[in-house]
Amino acid sequence: MKIFFACHRFPFPPNRGGKIRPFNMIRHLSQRHEMFVASLAHTQQELDEGAGLKEYCAEIYSEVLPEKLRWLQAVRALPSATPSSVAYFSSSRLRQKIKDGVRKHSFDVVMVHCAFAAQYALEVRAKRRLIDFGDLDSGKWLDYSKWRSFPQSWAYYLEGHKLRRYEKQIAAAFDYCTLTTQGELEEFKKLEVDRPYNIIANGVDGSYFQPNGGPAQAKPVVVFLGRMDYYPNIDGVLYFTESVFPTIRAAVPNVEFRIIGSNPSPAVQRLREISGVVVTGHVPDVRPFLKDAVVSVAPLRMARGTQNKILESMAMGLPVVATPEAAKGIQAIPGEHVLVAAGPARFAAQIVEILANPQLRLGLSNAGREQVNSAHVWSRSMEVLDHILMESTSGVS
């Protein structure tokens, strides 16, 4: 079949800033189908580094949309019915490239990852149309509104409701909808759209993220992994550094908290001033920065969907301590595969216990990796995708 696939962020290279979920879908589908992919990049460098995506595609329609222009469009959309987060990913040049490129093709399937990319697929003709919402971002914005003060709380609340209406319209324009977790599926049901749906769980590449033989013992290292221009991550590391880390450091004076992630915000960069805190910024490969770690933390107070940072840490054999909010999207048993802690005191106590107890550390390491390789492998998720395609395109040749 010929498949037109649109995603909002350039999906290559994976595990180095590229979007892992759409990349795995594209790579898998390319084994049996002819893939035509449309996506935006933030910079020309991102686009150049993503040249390897061509290996999986018959054609790629791409365009660089600079950050300043994105934010200008988002601000302009504030007084309109268009969600600012949709305007942020809007490119007339990419639309024209798609229009010029697809006119000579007849597609069997249009598939979209994320509601923000749906704007590039609505006019592409196909026999069947599928949208992978992943997470419903409207819920994320509504969550933000509860955590921020006025006027930001009002702006997030307004954006959440605008986006919720948009998601409902988009869902109705497709034949089939998929989500990442049961929690996101429950959010989807609130849209009250009469469309079939299913869950495609996020996975992790266990051949890429592998245990490294155990951490060095000279200095215990606690790590956080994630993009540091993303508000829930920023809030999480600030909360951890201010409310949890001092207790850990009192018990283990030489402990290091290493924040691994690109584009650290000014608030995160200032954490370098705190003794024991390391902020790496962008790194070409996160694995070397995890190899000497003892424990990985996910101290997110706002979290939706599946936290890939947890999956990747578990795959590398790193024990994980997470908030209930961060852990809810992972198929894991608290206390067996991961440790879950609500509140600063409990969170700190769990980490100190892991640092002090090699047997506990080893048990969590082995159980976590075994669980992630069982419940969160891309091959199993792609089997679900294949079934959905077969079911929804029955009769399409």
Q: Are residues 85 and 132 in the same domain?
A: yes
Highest mean pLDDT among 141-150, 180-189, 266-275: 266-275
Q: Are residues 12 and 133 in the same domain?
A: yes
Q: Are residues 238 and 194 in the same domain?
A: no
Q: Is the pLDDT of residue 311 over 50?
A: yes
Residue 304 belongs to what domain range?
Answer: 221-375
Q: Are residues 108 and 188 in the same domain?
A: yes
Q: Identify the CA nearest to 233 among candidates 304, 283, 172.
A: 304
The CATH number of the domain holding residue 293 is: 3.40.50.2000
Q: Are residues 337 and 272 in the same domain?
A: yes
Q: What is this structure's pTM?
A: 0.85
Q: Are residues 108 and 185 in the same domain?
A: yes
Query: pLDDT of 370-394, one tens digit each?
Result: 999 888 989 999 999 999 998 877 6
The whole-number average pLDDT for the span 342-364 is: 96
Query: pLDDT of 259-294, one tens digit each?
Result: 999 889 999 999 999 999 999 998 888 999 998 999
pLDDT at position 46:
87
Q: Is the pLDDT of residue 397 over 50?
A: no
In a domain, residue 72? The reply is yes
In a domain, residue 212? The reply is no
Cα distance between residue 296 and residue 293, in whole Å: 7
Cα distance between residue 22 and residue 118, in whole Å: 14
pLDDT at position 217:
61
Q: What percent of the chain has pLDDT over 70?
A: 96
Q: What percent of the chain has pLDDT over 90?
A: 75
Angle at 301 between CA 133 and CA 283, to 5 degrees: 75
The whole-number average pLDDT for the span 148-170 is: 92
User: Considering its fold, how many domains does the chain have in total?
Assistant: 2
The whole-number average pLDDT for the span 217-224 is: 88
In a domain, residue 232? The reply is yes
Residue with the two structure tokens 């024990």: 319
**255-274 core/surface letters (b: 16 or more CB in 10 A; e: else):** bbbbbbbbebeeebeebeee
R_g (Cα) of the chain, nearest Å: 21
Q: Is the pLDDT of residue 163 over 70?
A: yes
Q: Identify the CA nearest to 133 among candidates 170, 178, 198, 83.
A: 178
Q: Are residues 332 and 256 in the same domain?
A: yes
In a domain, residue 209? The reply is no
Query: pLDDT of 99-115, one tens digit each?
Result: 999 999 999 999 999 99
Cα distance between residue 224 and residue 211, in whole Å: 17
Q: Are residues 6 and 90 in the same domain?
A: yes
Q: Are residues 117 and 251 in the same domain?
A: no
The whole-number average pLDDT for the span 319-347 is: 95
Query: pLDDT of 247-266, one tens digit each?
Result: 999 999 999 999 999 889 99
pLDDT at position 14:
60
Q: Are residues 177 and 297 in the same domain?
A: no
Angle at 239 between CA 234 and CA 244, to 5 degrees: 140
In a domain, residue 284? The reply is yes
Is the model more confident about 296 or about 395? Answer: 296
Q: Are residues 264 and 370 in the same domain?
A: yes
Q: Are residues 62 and 176 in the same domain?
A: yes
pLDDT at position 308:
87
Sign of CA dihedral 310, 314, 317, 323: positive
In a domain, residue 210? The reply is no
Q: Is the pLDDT of residue 41 over 50?
A: yes
Is the model more confident about 141 or about 100? Answer: 100
Q: Is the pLDDT of residue 13 over 90?
A: no
Tell me the backbone φ, ψ of residue 108, rounded to 5 degrees.
Answer: -85, -40
Confidence of residue 16 (pLDDT cuts 50, 70, 90): very low
Q: What is the DSSP string of 328-386?
A: TTS---BTTTBEE--SHHHHHHHHHHHHH-HHHHHHHHHHHHHHHHHHSBHHHHHHHHH
In a domain, residue 211? The reply is no
In a domain, residue 71? The reply is yes
- For residue 300 the two structure tokens come to 């997110």
